[in-house]
Amino acid sequence: MKRLVKNGKIVTPEKTFKGDILIDDGIIKDIAPHIKSDAEVIDASGLFVLHGGVDVHTHLNLKLGDRQVGDGFYEGMRAAAFGGTTTIVDHPEGGPKGCSLHHQPDYYKKLLLSEAVIDYGIHGIFQRADEDILNEIPELISKGVTSMKAYLTYDDMLTNSDIDKILNKMKHSGGITAFHAEDDTTIKYLRDKYGKEGKLAPIYHAKSRPAESEALAIQNILDIAGDAPVYIVHLSTRLGLEVIKKARLDGKTVYAETCPQYLLLDESYYEREDGIKYIMAPPLRTKEDTDALWKAVINGDIDVIATDHCSFSCADKIKFGQGDFRKVPGGAPGVETRLPLIFSEGVINGRISINRFVELVAEKPAQIMGMYPKKGCIKIGADADIVLWDAELTKTISVKELHQKCDYTPYEGMEVTGWPRTVILKGEIIVNKDELLIEKGFGEYINRNRKAIGA
């Protein structure tokens, strides 16, 4: 079906201009100041025309033992769509002990086939680095899983020898390794120390994972990496940022992702009566850290703003961890509020241009994760994933108004200006006037390829 998006202000990282977009068979066929066509017209007068958001760090279906996030794929993707995100790349949990590298991506793809309402990719996950796993890397990349995640803490953490072998194989196979960078030795020592001292309130979650633990882990990764590309997820500290900046000056290829929570919230939230809600890893940081990260967003040292959406409910945080921060399921929801929050705090408040905004939330993540130019850009030949954005619409964020399946939002009561009016995926209107217009299964798997873009 042909559609014509008319009279809007089209936004790319390079420029903003008045124009029309012709869509045919789900693809952008033409972009011009004025297009005449017999296509169905979508009037974007008074609105910005943005590419749909690309969130490359979500945990929509995470299950850790008897603890499971609230959303699941359908509800999580529905929330993403209402927030203007049209593509996600999801991080699975670890699979059964001894499973292959293919196990979790294949399992997630099977589940998503009938659940997805937006398009998606899936990250791989390293649980070990023996010869069998290393040999599976090229095959998994050939199946469109071009990014795989490694942890420097938790049960499936890797040793330096593992990291070295993985980075070398990933580099030669055309993949990119994403790292959860926190120093396990530091964290274990401090968690044990505070436990013995009876210091178990939420604020000690932050104190047990200090900024130095992030910086130390990042430095360790980059010392090993050589010229292999590295992607640091959820960067949260000034110290970690400084390590990355120095490594770039030394010629290393390292990408930095941060999240709205590390830009908009700080560790004072742990002192609140409901501080348990804000337990996540890494934890919320100091005001000095949030200021440093905003500066990095502004000057280009941050590449991507994702969410690390992980919707363990407040009820479960209390059930499992009331009185002991060490037992609280970590994470927070955010996939629906990412674009409005960053637009409001970034663009409306004058920190960044709207052009930088679309680069951070759509184009750059699509490029790094191998979806560009199919995703992430408004260009002829790209998928017609488009958001009609009302830059004047002001809302107060409330869990009662959101579409997530979670009983709280960390941004409750925040007033934001800028919200999606209409969301289009592959030429189909999927959200309009607060209504989801497509069925489960509409979203499709994205076969990613970093080599195709020279990343």
Q: What is the pLDDT along the chain (455 residues), one digit of tens a residue?
A: 899 999 999 999 999 999 999 999 999 999 999 999 999 999 999 999 999 999 999 999 999 988 999 999 999 999 999 999 999 999 999 999 999 999 999 999 999 999 999 999 999 999 999 999 999 999 999 999 999 999 999 888 899 999 999 999 999 999 999 999 999 999 999 999 999 999 999 999 999 999 999 999 999 999 999 999 999 999 999 999 999 999 999 999 999 999 999 999 999 999 999 999 999 999 999 999 999 999 999 999 999 999 999 999 999 999 999 999 999 999 999 999 999 999 999 999 999 999 999 999 999 999 999 999 999 999 999 999 999 999 999 999 999 999 999 999 999 999 999 999 999 999 999 999 889 999 999 999 999 997 644 34
On whether residue 45 sits in a domain, the answer given is: yes
Distance CA 325, CA 3 (A): 52
CB 244, CB 256: distance < 8 Å: yes
Cβ atoms within 10 Å, residue 197: 9
On whether residue 27 sits in a domain, the answer given is: yes
Per the structure, the complete domain to which residue 392 belongs is given by 2-50+379-406+418-436
* Nearest residue to 408 via CA among 318, 335, 313, 338: 313
| Structural Rg of the chain based on CA atoms | 21
On whether residue 105 sits in a domain, the answer given is: no
Respond yes or no on whether the N-terminal peptide bond of residue 282 is cis (omega within 30° of 0). Answer: yes
On whether residue 297 sits in a domain, the answer given is: no
> For residue 156, what pLDDT is reported?
85
Distance CA 444, CA 118 (A): 7
What domain count does the chain have? 1
Output the DSSP codes for 18-37: EEEEEEETTEEEEEESS---
On whether residue 449 sits in a domain, the answer given is: no
On whether residue 110 sits in a domain, the answer given is: no
CATH number of the domain enclosing 40: 2.30.40.10
Q: Is the pTM of this model over 0.95?
A: yes
Q: Looking at residue 284, what DSSP letter applies?
A: P
Helix 238-249 / helix 287-299 crossing angle, nearest 10 deg = 30
